């Protein structure tokens, strides 16, 4: 029984992703760099044409190469959205912590 629980937990950690064709506005906004207006723009874009590949998100106004590079690890175009343990969010937190540590060390 413990093995099944570990496997299930591991699978949920590995499969965290945002389906850009079906995710809600709040789910989209969990991605770094995607706020209210960009989430609306993604939803508007997909009502006209579903995303066939994740890199098509760069066709959405306001989403360029930088944001795409930051979030692409968590994007999918098929499947279920699961925003637990998004890699891009954890990566962004690590960057912020390193920057905060650098800022704190420079003021000493």
CATH topology of domain 18-76: DNA polymerase; domain 1 (1.10.150)
Give the mean pLDDT of 37-63.
97
pLDDT at 13 over 60: no
pLDDT, position 102: 53
**SS3 letters across 52-98:** CCHHHHHHCCCCCHHHHHHHHHHEECCCCCECCCCHHHHHHHHHHHH
Give the mean pLDDT of 56-75.
96
Give the mean pLDDT of 69-82.
95
Give the mean pLDDT of 82-104.
65
pLDDT at 92 over 70: no
Give residue 89's pLDDT band: very low, low, confident or very high (50, 70, 90).
confident
Average pLDDT value over all residues in the chain = 81
**Per-domain residue ranges for the chain?**
18-76
């Amino acid at each position: 029984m413990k093995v099944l629980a570990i496997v299930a937990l591991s699978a949920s950690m590995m499969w965290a992703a945002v389906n850009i064709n079906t995710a809600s506005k709040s789910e989209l906004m969990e991605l770094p760099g995607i706020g209210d207006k960009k989430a609306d723009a993604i939803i508007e874009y997909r009502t006209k044409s579903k995303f066939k590949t994740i890199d098509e998100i760069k066709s959405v106004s306001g989403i360029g190469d930088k944001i795409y590079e930051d979030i692409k690890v968590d994007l999918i175009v098929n499947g279920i959205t699961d925003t637990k343990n998004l890699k891009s969010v954890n990566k962004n937190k690590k960057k912020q912590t390193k920057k905060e540590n650098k800022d704190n060390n420079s003021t000493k």
